[in-house]
Amino acid sequence: MPRTTCPSPLILILILLLLCLLGLSACRQLPPLRETGIGPPAPRSGAESRLGQLLGPLAAAHPGKTGVLALAGEHEALVARALLAAQAQHTLDLQYYIWRADAAGTLLLQALWQAAERGVHVRLLLDDNNTAGLDTLLAALDAHPQIELRLYNPMLYRQARVLNYLLDFQRSNRRMHNKSMTADGQASIVGGRNIGDEYFGAGEHLAFADLDVLAVGAAVPQITASFERYWHSASAYPASQLLPAAAAQDSQTLPDRFASLHAQARTQAYLAALQATPLLRQLEDGQLPLDWVAATLLQDDPAKTLAAPDALNHETLLLPALLKTLGEPVQGLDLVSPYFVPGQAGTAALTALSRRGIRVRVLTNALAASDVAAVHAGYMKWRQTLLRAGVQLFELKPHAGQAERAARGSGGITGSSSASLHAKTFAVDGRRLFVGSFNFDPRSALLNTELGLVLDSPALAGRLSGFFDQELSRQAYRLRLADDGQTLQWLEQTEQGLIVHDKEPGMGLLQGLGLGLLSLLPIDGLL
């Protein structure tokens, strides 16, 4: 009679762990959503607001138009946000994917805290994916009577966060990638920047090349309405429902935290650089160099976060509206996307444009400049197809723009050691321009929620075209196919002349093997 074989101890342990996970999944669910908070103050006339008095006459002189100012410099992007917080008298509404508790993030939290101390009603909506380790800080903020904090698509497991993805992957994998700030319903900032040192030239190791716009006039009510839509959505949970109540000492230590940051020499050097930003005086004097244009706000429906993949209403998504609003290119398309994963459909669309004689230029990160290597695997397999069709590909070098940032004083506190592209902007025919949070990848199209403005602005679109024409050869590799029609080459323009790289810059043997394997996997939809 054959002997019965018992499962190995390892198999038994794995089965037990699986049963435990299934039990956790069944027992732990998000609590019912409840409305809390004091609610926003009653709407007031713009004439009652300091910002309204500064900006209202400008908007009145351009009915139906939006005044926009590009915020390309790291320092001016932070100064603009700090100024809006400092000038606000009634409301501040902020919506972000990432908010770090580093120098830049703490300086902006202090600006919000000071506004709340003046009686400004502050509402902060944060995606919960990147709040690990911040629960005590966030609870202390939420404890202020004038600050309301909500967490979007919250993580049930606050410590072992990987459990959220193991037990509820479909929901946890959908994130709110929107980025906006509005003060007193008078001025807004939208674009690609999150809140953290690397976005505002305050980091030592990494500086993101990014783009926002400051907007006044007709688009601001649209941005305010979008914020309200997300704030009251089924995915926005009051922090008090999820975080432990703040201890009295936690709230009392926040001003001490701010004071400690200001006591550091590095912070003082950074603040001195911010004070030199011309935008500071321009806003105070009401002399902003605004470009008054037709603007359209595009946004995903927040229902996208909880919808089943086969139940998405594509009529409510940003991508179809973006294609319609930008219009079909006739002359050229300039596309800037740090995470560029065109997939089969995107590749087909871009190659079709190029074969019709339309100039298509794409700027994304080189491997050595990318902060997400897996995304590079989703991009690299489409390069030959795009190049054969005549699409021009550029990859930002990891040290791009360092000399320019140093010259204008917008480098990091001690000088960032590397650069990475983070701007998301597309220009059609040198006239219409998109600025926002949308990447050219499946994640932005189908998983995350996004937000941005389409601007009918030859001035701004022309600046992007000029960047491709005049600056890019020094800051990026240009890709081409070798004579065999298959092998990639990277062209690098240096002071000593042109260098042709036959191997991908910055890629080691093991990394190349790993990325090659990743590129074979059917994971583009997750990138």
**Backbone CA torsion sign across 158, 163, 164, 168:** negative
> 128, 142, 334, 429: which is the annotated catalytic residue?
429
324 in catalytic set: no
- Angle formed at CA 95 by CA 204 and CA 333, multiple of 5 degrees: 75
| Rounded CA separation 310/307 (Å) | 8
β-strand 121-127 against 187-191: which pairing, if any?
A: unpaired
> 184, 197, 212, 524: which is the annotated catalytic residue?
184
| Rounded CA separation 465/451 (Å) | 23
422 in catalytic set: yes
| Rounded CA separation 136/397 (Å) | 38
Give the CA distances from residue 256 to residues 124, 157, 224, 322, 381, in Å, rounded to whole numbers and listed in that order: 22, 29, 33, 45, 51
503 in catalytic set: no
> 142, 422, 441, 524: which is the annotated catalytic residue?
422
Q: Which run of H or of E encompasses 361? A: strand 359-365
- Angle formed at CA 438 by CA 433 and CA 444, multiple of 5 degrees: 150
Q: Alpha helix locations (H) across 302-400?
A: 318-326, 343-355, 373-380, 383-388
Amino acid at 390: G
Q: Which run of H or of E encompasses 297? A: strand 291-299
> 75, 90, 179, 304: which is the annotated catalytic residue?
179
> 75, 90, 121, 177: which is the annotated catalytic residue?
177
| Rounded CA separation 411/282 (Å) | 22
Q: Alpha helix locations (H) across 356-399?
A: 373-380, 383-388
> 121, 210, 424, 524: which is the annotated catalytic residue?
424
Of the candidates 193, 191, 182, the one whose C-alpha atom is nearest the C-alpha of residue 225 is 182
Residues known to be catalytic: 177, 179, 184, 422, 424, 429
